[in-house]
């Protein structure tokens, strides 16, 4: 469900996010002040960019965070924050997003390779009955009718 990527940055709801505590510490403010800022400006912080964590998500994270900021959500703090600290946090989020996308692409390639290996393994383990040729090459004695040679000799000799 979540994955710690870099310090204070997690993968939640298929997006790299920074939790409110880590972002507040990075920006030199209290968690309560950051939460109040978001609560006082709900139209400026849409749910897609800054979201409240569910109880299940909070249970898997340390520090009982309540908010998660995507890269875009953290950028929305620009008018209220020190630009240098915020830019450093945004740079980390951008780096994380790139690493996450690379990881997703790698996972797709590994999945495709595993599917190919499974198909080859299934083919190699196919029962011999399925692999039997329809037209055998050469003379197969058990497929010949009994007495064929003697009939051919009899016809040739005129008997």
Write out pLDDT tens, residues 78-121. 877 777 777 877 787 778 777 777 887 898 899 999 999 998 88
The span from the CA of 115 to the CA of 103, in Å, is 18
Coil, strand or helix at 64: coil
* High-pLDDT (> 90) share of the chain, %: 6
Distances (CA, A) of 90 to 37, 99, 132, 136: 18, 14, 63, 69
Q: What pLDDT, on the 0 to 100 scale, is given for residue 5?
A: 41
Q: What pLDDT, on the 0 to 100 scale, is given for residue 109?
A: 92
The span from the CA of 118 to the CA of 136, in Å, is 29
Residue with tokens 């390639």: 109
Please report, for the chain, the start and end positions of each structural domain, with discontinuous segments joined by +: 1-159
């Amino acid at each position: 469900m979540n994955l710690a990527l870099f310090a204070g940055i997690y993968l939640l709801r298929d997006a790299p996010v920074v939790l409110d505590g880590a972002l507040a510490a990075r920006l030199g403010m209290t968690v309560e002040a950051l939460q109040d800022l978001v609560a006082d400006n709900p139209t400026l912080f849409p749910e897609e960019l800054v979201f409240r964590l569910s109880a299940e998500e909070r249970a898997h994270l340390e520090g009982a965070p309540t908010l998660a900021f995507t890269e875009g959500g953290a950028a929305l703090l620009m008018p209220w924050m020190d630009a240098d600290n915020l830019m450093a946090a945004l740079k980390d989020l951008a780096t994380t997003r790139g690493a996450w996308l690379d990881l997703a692409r790698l996972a797709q390639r590994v999945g495709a390779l595993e599917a190919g290996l499974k198909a080859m393994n299934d083919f190699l383990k196919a029962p011999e009955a399925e692999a039997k040729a329809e037209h055998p090459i050469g003379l197969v004695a058990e497929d010949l009718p009994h007495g064929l040679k003697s009939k051919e000799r009899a016809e040739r000799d005129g008997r």
